[in-house]
Structure 1
């Protein structure tokens, strides 16, 4: 499915966007009813958990999703969004269609029905979401080793860095100090996948904290 844009420009804020996602996930046919259970926005993408029931109360039979005891199923819908000349637009897809965007929070994944096929697109999508959620969120001062050396624009590489920040426009921006050169580099969250905490800034002030973080952040 392609992009759909609203020319009335009524979607201007986060609240407007969420209201529209809610509307898109809430509808009823002669046989089925769908309601929004949860919606989360990550970047410009909305992730939604939508619950489907039969109007007559009979169980929903589906080739992809296992049916809950109450006869319902809950699936994930992904909405890419963007503005084009002030007009808000979206492109929607269901998780079994193989969406590329895969940063849905674990709290949303926990609401979804079990999958019947472990080799399905939906199963692979959910695993990518879990892999993304598993990437560490380090604290300032943490010294880390990347899973593999990162090649910089000047052709050099770095692998051991310390979390720090720089200021621009009165705001703090996260960056990383390269151990070998002392230079600063911006790294995407994806670059931290598989990284290892070498030392924690939090543990430096107390031997008790040092022991705690060595057991929980290694």
Structure 2
């Protein structure tokens, strides 16, 4: 499907993309003497950018399959054309490029044999694993690909310097200190190093 855009006044009083989309994807319709619909079990839309939801198929009041819905979100409060909010909805069966679905939503999904959905779930799980990796002060890491910085330096291996939650990367050859956006989502590995312990004489 394409994009659906609207002014904030058309969001039925909902203040966020998450609240509006939760409402849109939770519904019941009467069909052939019974009812069918969807129910959002859990959802997330950080900074009104990408919406992820676990939606359960409802038939005659009973719950069935649970699948993922992904929406690309447009959030533009200052739009001169009043296209302040918009979204493009997909299901996991379409293999969305957006693959940062939270774990609590992935855990609610029922088994599937759809290849696109399986690939999407795998990518989401891999991204979750990357973000939960631990970095310690003094670790040496190697990126999967070299990075070119604004000062022209090209680097691939760095020494980690941590101060609280702030992570700075120091070039081992002394070229400077750098920060890399979304570091925990990038592919890298810790380079084993030999640590020399002090000798203590009795």
TM-score, reference length from structure 2: 0.74
Are 1:46 and 2:40 counterparts? Answer: no
Q: Which string of whole-angstrom CA distances, capped at 9 and with x for unpartnered residues, describes residues 152-207 of structure 1?
A: 13252231331446xxxxxx8643222222512222336642422758xxxxxxxx
Q: Matches of 2:145 and 2:187 in 1, distance apart?
A: 12
| Preserved contact between residue 71 and residue 90 of structure 2 (Cα < 8 Å) | yes
RMSD, matched Cα:
3.0
Q: Name the structure 1 match of 2:196.
A: none
Q: Matches of 1:143 and 1:180 in 2, distance apart?
A: 15
Structure 2 portions without partners, runs of 5+: 194-202
| Preserved contact between residue 141 and residue 188 of structure 2 (Cα < 8 Å) | no
Q: Matches of 1:29 and 1:155 in 2, distance apart?
A: 60
Q: Could you say which structure has the larger radius of gyration? A: 2
Q: Name the structure 1 match of 2:60.
A: 55
Q: How many aligned positions are there?
A: 178
Structure 1 portions without partners, runs of 5+: 58-70, 166-171, 200-218
Q: Matches of 1:178 and 1:102 in 2, distance apart?
A: 31
Q: Matches of 2:178 and 2:140 in 1, distance apart?
A: 14
Say if 1:131 and 1:163 are closer, same or farther in 2 by CA, change over 3 A.
Answer: farther
Say if 1:191 and 1:88 are closer, same or farther in 2 by CA, change over 3 A.
Answer: closer
Say if 1:177 and 1:155 are closer, same or farther in 2 by CA, change over 3 A.
Answer: closer
Displacement of 1:94? 0.5
